[in-house]
Amino acid sequence: MKTPSQAILLVEDDEVDAMTVRRALKELHVTNPLRQVENGEEALSFLRNPAEARPCIILLDLNMPVMGGIEFLQLVKKDAALRRIPVVVLTTSDEQQDKIASFDLGVAGYIRKPVDYRQFVEAVRSIDAYWTLSELPQ
Amino acid sequence: MKNLVRGLENKNPLWLLESAADAMLVTDRNGCIVFSNKSAEMLFGHEGGKLSGLAVETLIPPLFREKHLAKKNEAHSVPRAMRSGLQLYGLKKDGSEIAIDVSLSPLEDGYTLVTAHDIARRRRAEDGYTPGTVHDIAHRRRAEDALADQSARLAAIVETAVDAIITIDEKGIIDSFNPAAERIFGYKREEALGRNVSMLMPSPHREAHDDYIGHYLKSAERRIIGIGRETLGLRKDGTTFPIELSVSEMKVGDHRMFTGVVKDITLRKEAEESQARLIHELESANDELKNFAYVVSHDLKAPLRAIGSLADWISADQSERLDDEGREHLRLLIQRARRMDSLIDGILQYSRVGRVRETKVNVDLNEIVKESLSMLAPPPDIRVEVAPGLPIIHAEQTRMLQLFQNLLSNAIKYLDKPEGLIRIGFETHQDDWEFSVSDNGCGIEPKHFKRIFQLFQTLVPKDRVESTGVGLALVKKIVELYGGRIWIESEPAVGSTFFFTLPRSGKKEYHENTKPGNPAR
């Protein structure tokens, strides 16, 4: 990530998936703090909480209880203060309707969680590499 | 006026007979014709020649001649009264017979005035018949017989009809009520005749029916006559039931009558309802299946991924504590998790065909084959020959790609010869294109021809060739959704050819019940 001090917000309800991301980041020596919330609603309150620093990227699962990823995207992209935070969807879904909805809502990427852990690490490596290179508005 | 009368008095009285429109003859006491007018000559076909001098029997058909002679003799023994309205047959010069009305008026000195009318012509004039419909009395009798016969038949039809047939007059009063009507409505004929037909209808038609007729008689606006509709009938016992009603109008004398044909459609309605229910059940089952596929993709995959990851971590983190057998078991565990992952992907891919619709475009199959081959990247020892000029087909791009990609990938996967050859061919038929993908690979025994197209069926253990058994099932599903057929010809160790057809017209295109509002995909 470009700014190692900025947090990565992981919106994920599955504990092992969260562990996988955490482990992969650690393995790749990504030092950014990882903050995890379990659904879209928690993610919104985290982002709107002035006490919390703004994350540099949001890794978003789609299928979650309470508020799913698509609904979260609809709300966050309407919020002028939050809409520019890049959101990368990290999901199981291979459904076109999910891909279309996500890109219509301005996601920065859509990555299917590989079943194979090694491939998962490679996916996270690519995300990190890209967002180390890419500029972000302040 | 006086002049005219005087003029007439001066004329020979025969002049009157001469100019009469009716056929007139004068016979003497021997039955010899002494005078005939033009009409008579025409009637009997003696145009231009006088009948005078002939025996009157000349004008009577042979069958009746003797009788006539007998009667004539008898008639002369008693003073003769005027007789009229005798229906007889006349004989024309050409031998044909003609039905005539004959009046006889005795004149002085044994002379008789015979007046004859052509019955057929009179009938035609009376009834306004078109010329040629009735030529003589025999025809008329035949027609009358036929009419009686037809009436009997019509009556029989009405009596035995399955549908209720009810006629009403302009006031809605029931004039006829057939047995089917009795059965359907539960009224006896005598209970129904003379009553208003509205008794057979539930509200609001019951109250409004008189107005319906009134409105029609006034405006001639047809709402049901000649159109028919589905409505409700009311039985004697007060129950209602669905009917199909058709009404026609007829004129009897100066009255208008209406005939209603009522079909009891209770059974049909029930069948329709149960069909609708069945369709609904099928739809919801189909929806459930769609959901199932979607849920599978999310809810089964997450734990599977967890199993894969955890096994990976154990083998990485605990490698010192594991012996070779433990590491091998974990390797197999991870491999099986991966396989399950591909199986789930296969189910999803299979279920997406027909479930997920993509906009149909003109797909150039030459491009599709090229793209498939570049994605599959066959090894250099396999030669691929593609027939030139593959057609352009109106279809979903993704499905066409899947179709060729799976068949080609199959051909590549099972090639066991040092020099592989894959051929793509096609033939144009009247209604469809027939494509073929052939290889010189390991081939398939005929007993497996059916099995290979079934989902998850493979012929080689999965450990040796990584195959989910989805490819050919997917291919078959795509071909059949497009209204085509697929089959295989193969010889073990020699090679296989897969054939499939795709219709050339869009007529056989499949319909699917994708709900409106789903994003086009």
Q: For A38-62, how does the pLDDT look when each residue is reduced to its tens digit (9 = 90+)?
A: 999 999 999 999 888 889 999 999 9
At residue B496, φ and ψ (nearest 5 deg) are -130, 150
| Of B367, B370, B498, B490, the residue nearest B437 (C-alpha) | B498
Sign, Cα dihedral of B369, B374, B378, B383: positive
Per-residue pLDDT at B348: 80
B420-428 and B392-396 beta bridge pairing: unpaired
Residue A98 neighbours by CB distance under 10 Å: 22
Q: Which of A93, A100, A101 is closest, CB to CB, to B297?
A: A93
Q: What DSSP character marks residue B356? A: B
Instruction: From chain B, pick out residues whose CB is under 8 angstroms from the CB of A118.
Output: 312
Nearest-angstrom CA–CA distance, A124 and A32: 13
Instruction: Give the chain A residue whose CA is nearest to the CA of B303.
Output: A16
Instruction: From chain B, pick out residues whose CB is under 8 angstroms from the CB of A115.
Output: 301, 304-305, 308, 337-338, 341
Q: Does residue B334 sit at the A interface (CB-CB below 8 Å)?
A: yes
Q: Which of A14, A100, A116 is closest, CB to CB, to B308?
A: A116
Instruction: From chain A, pick out residues whose CB is under 8 angstroms from the CB of B309.
Output: 16, 19-20, 117, 120
Provide the residue ranges of all domains of chain B, joining segments of one domain with +. 2-137, 161-264, 269-352, 360-503
Nearest-angstrom CA–CA distance, B117 and B40: 9
Substitution target from B297, B305, B339, B343 for chain A, most A beta carbons within 10 A: B305
Look up the pTM and report it. 0.50
Per-residue pLDDT at B113: 77
Question: What b-and-e string marks burial along B445-480, b requiring 16 or more CB atoms within 10 Å of the CB?
Answer: eeeeeeebbebeebeeebeeeebbbbbbbbbbbbbb
Nearest-angstrom CA–CA distance, A103 and A81: 20
Instruction: From chain A, pick out residues whose CB is under 8 angstroms from the CB of B399.
Output: none
Taking a C-beta distance cutoff of 8 angstroms, is the pair A132, A1 a contact? yes
Instruction: From chain A, pick out residues whose CB is under 8 angstroms from the CB of B297.
Output: 92-95
- Give the burial class of B336: count Cβ atoms within 10 A of its Cβ; 0-12 exposed, 13-18 middle, 19 or more buried: middle
At residue B517, φ and ψ (nearest 5 deg) are 100, -20
Segment A100-121 shows an average pLDDT of 91
Per-residue pLDDT at B14: 66
A99 to chain B, closest Cα gap in Å: 10
Nearest-angstrom CA–CA distance, B57 and B141: 25
Q: What DSSP character marks residue B354? A: T
Fold (topology level) of B360-503: Heat Shock Protein 90 (3.30.565)
Instruction: From chain B, pick out residues whose CB is under 8 angstroms from the CB of A116.
Output: 308, 312, 334, 338
- Per residue in A73-98, pLDDT tens? 999 999 988 999 999 999 988 888 89
Instruction: Give the pair of three-digit tokens for residue A121.
Output: 């690490």
Establish whether domains B2-137 and B161-264 are of one fold.
yes
Integer CA distances (angstroms), A6 to A1, A2, A131, A134, B371, in order: 8, 9, 12, 15, 43
CB contact under 8 A, A94 and B341: no
Interface of A with B in 7-46 (CB under 8 A): 14, 16-17, 19-20, 23
CB contact under 8 A, B305 and A100: no
Domain B2-137 classification at class level: alpha beta
B269 to chain A, closest Cα gap in Å: 40
Q: Which of B297, B338, B519 is closest, CB to CB, to A116?
A: B338
CB contact under 8 A, A117 and B304: no
Instruction: From chain B, pick out residues whose CB is under 8 angstroms from the CB of A23.
Output: 313
**Rg from Cα positions in chain B:** 48
Q: Which of B299, B306, B348 is closest, CB to CB, to A94?
A: B348
CB contact under 8 A, B313 and A100: no
Q: Does residue A98 sit at the B interface (CB-CB below 8 Å)?
A: no
Instruction: Give the chain B residue whose CA is nearest to the CA of A119.
Output: B309
Fold (topology level) of B161-264: Beta-Lactamase (3.30.450)
Per-residue pLDDT at A87: 95
Q: Which of A16, A94, A115 is closest, CB to CB, to B337?
A: A115
CB contact under 8 A, B519 and A97: yes
CB contact under 8 A, B305 and A97: no
- In sequence order, what are the beta bridge partners of B259? B167, B248
pLDDT by residue for chain B (521 residues), tens only, comes to 455 555 555 556 566 667 777 777 888 888 888 878 877 888 888 776 677 788 888 888 877 777 676 666 555 544 444 455 566 778 888 888 877 777 777 777 777 777 777 776 666 555 544 433 333 556 666 777 777 787 888 788 888 888 889 999 888 899 899 999 999 999 999 999 999 999 999 988 888 888 888 888 888 777 777 777 888 999 999 999 999 888 888 887 778 888 889 888 888 889 989 999 999 998 888 888 777 777 776 778 888 888 988 998 998 888 888 888 888 888 888 888 888 888 888 878 887 777 777 788 899 999 999 999 998 888 989 999 999 999 999 998 888 999 999 999 989 988 888 889 999 999 998 888 999 999 998 888 888 888 888 877 777 665 555 677 788 888 999 999 888 999 999 998 899 999 999 988 654 444 444 334 344 33
Instruction: From chain A, pick out residues whose CB is under 8 angstroms from the CB of B518.
Output: 97
Instruction: Give the chain A residue whose CA is nearest to the CA of B345.
Output: A94
Q: Which structural domains are found in chain A, ordered by start?
A: 8-131 (3.40.50.2300)
